[in-house]
Structure 1
């Protein structure tokens, strides 16, 4: 009797040990490449100095206070908020419309899906160089405007028009990924719901509003959060196309962190700004997980 009671306990312990043995390599990699860098970033945000012979010195909350009183940082925050809102909304609406269209029995659906997805796997550096050529003062876009009878626009030299160029580039790059996610969500909605709605006399708009959107609620939450995160970490567009200019009008948070760390070598201040970005990202991930649990 005693043996029978002990064996399940020993078996459970053996399974636990085996599980930890298999998990240990992954945990070690996570610790080295994820948890340690995050911890060191947090520590670095409370220091001043650089990686020289003098090293870094503890400075407490000084870097965070500098963020609060620095007008350049707040301009970057405004730029990032404007860029995020103007990018995320079209990056959700346009892919949803394309996904609804492709979800119908249209010809060449596989080819069209591939064509729309290509921007998502294209190098942003290469695309950025292409957009820089398109929107330069003597570029094809201004040439088209002149042919249509309009005045040329100094796209990349204007504090008004430089940011829309980055927004157009980011929307173009996001459409394919979100379209594929929406298409998968649409195909998961039972077809019988649409058939029942048709029997009740519902038109296309009613079916979209009362069946498609509620059925896509988890997908919408996922795509919204991931698109915001992808947009917040935008760097290549700014680096290649505008360099943060003109007059700091297109400087986004990640590019600002890069400038402070690797141009001015103010690693503690850059780490504080990166910590702010990390906190915002973690809050967004928490919101996504919270909604998923409620589902």
Structure 2
């Protein structure tokens, strides 16, 4: 047999492949990889882009993060906001998807109505919620009818964060519902027919057929919802500005404040690197879990 030689990168197939891939690779490098690398570099610098210039400070910015109580309050706010938003953003759409997967009247209209919030701008939604929950707004007007005194929703250190959480749950509801509907329709109907023949009731079918069949979908929805909540910015910017008393300040808004409010780009880049690390951990967990599911 003639000896086989490895293909050269100059052969026709390889050259054609790299020719078609080149625009995507260049765009990925310029707009994704290079900004990430530059962000990591900025995390080790201080100074200004205009007057003093930037200079190397090593781990000083990360040390400042560790010693800054405001940063740890922001981390605590972000964890609270993410966990409190994540569970309802999965449970409520899952329940709606199960109901809307049945043969109901006006099923198509209801699906469209529930999906509508996901296509509305977060800025517009934030302005709408700020109007609803202002002191003289419709929510307090309804509470007055019930004999409940007015609540300063966005000015109270206890109630401000729940209002932002409600907005985030409402915004994510339609997208997750569509994702769960797609997952439900991928489960073979024969499984439910066999379960009915065995005498399984609706709850047993949901627990032993629907949930296991939706496992990859639930993982996907969990990761995308967690990333959505971690990068939340518009609702805080529009509704509370991080107040009152820093109780609604989330990590992305904190980075914005430090970078474009204090012009401390090195410190902001270090905080952004922490956010990037959280996101990469979530993505790694998603890829690893999907890999285990496909085996």
- What's the TM-score, normalizing by structure 2? 0.96
Aligned residue for 2:52?
Answer: 54
Gap regions ≥5 residues in structure 2? none
Distance in 2 separating the partners of 1:115 and 1:55: 52
Aligned residue for 2:212?
Answer: 214
Which residue, out of 230, 236, 239, partners 2:237?
239
How big is the shift at 1:114?
Answer: 1.1
Deviations 1:61-99 (A, max 9, x none): 000000000000000000001000100000000000000
In the alignment, is residue 106 of structure 1 matched against residue 89 of structure 2? no
Aligned residue for 1:80?
Answer: 78
Deviations 1:267-295 (A, max 9, x none): 00000000000010001001000011111
User: Residues 5, 44 of structure 1: CA spacing in aligned structure 2 closer, same or farther, 3 A cutoff?
Assistant: closer
Q: CA RMSD in A?
A: 1.6
User: Residues 199, 68 of structure 1: CA spacing in aligned structure 2 closer, same or farther, 3 A cutoff?
Assistant: same
Distance in 2 separating the partners of 1:140 and 1:294: 49
In the alignment, is residue 224 of structure 1 matched against residue 225 of structure 2? no
Deviations 1:5-49 (A, max 9, x none): 78x957993211111110011000011100010000000000001
Distance in 1 separating the partners of 2:129 and 2:250: 18
- What's the TM-score, normalizing by structure 1? 0.96
Distance in 2 separating the partners of 1:171 and 1:249: 19
In the alignment, is residue 121 of structure 1 matched against residue 100 of structure 2? no
After superposition, where does 1:1-295 map in structure 2 within 5 Å? 13-295=11-293
Gap regions ≥5 residues in structure 1? none
SS at match of 1:246: coil
Distance in 1 separating the partners of 2:211 and 2:273: 35
Distance in 1 separating the partners of 2:58 and 2:124: 41
Deviations 1:84-125 (A, max 9, x none): 010000000000000000111112222211111110010111
Distance in 1 separating the partners of 2:210 and 2:4: 54
SS at match of 2:11: helix
How big is the shift at 1:170?
Answer: 0.3
Distance in 1 separating the partners of 2:271 and 2:52: 23
Distance in 2 separating the partners of 1:246 and 1:26: 44
Distance in 2 separating the partners of 1:12 and 1:25: 18
SS at match of 1:159: coil
Distance in 2 separating the partners of 1:278 and 1:269: 14
User: Residues 103, 12 of structure 1: CA spacing in aligned structure 2 closer, same or farther, 3 A cutoff?
Assistant: farther
User: Residues 129, 211 of structure 1: CA spacing in aligned structure 2 closer, same or farther, 3 A cutoff?
Assistant: same
Distance in 2 separating the partners of 1:33 and 1:169: 31
Distance in 2 separating the partners of 1:5 and 1:41: 45
SS at match of 1:57: strand
Distance in 1 separating the partners of 2:29 and 2:22: 10
The total of aligned residue pairs comes to: 293
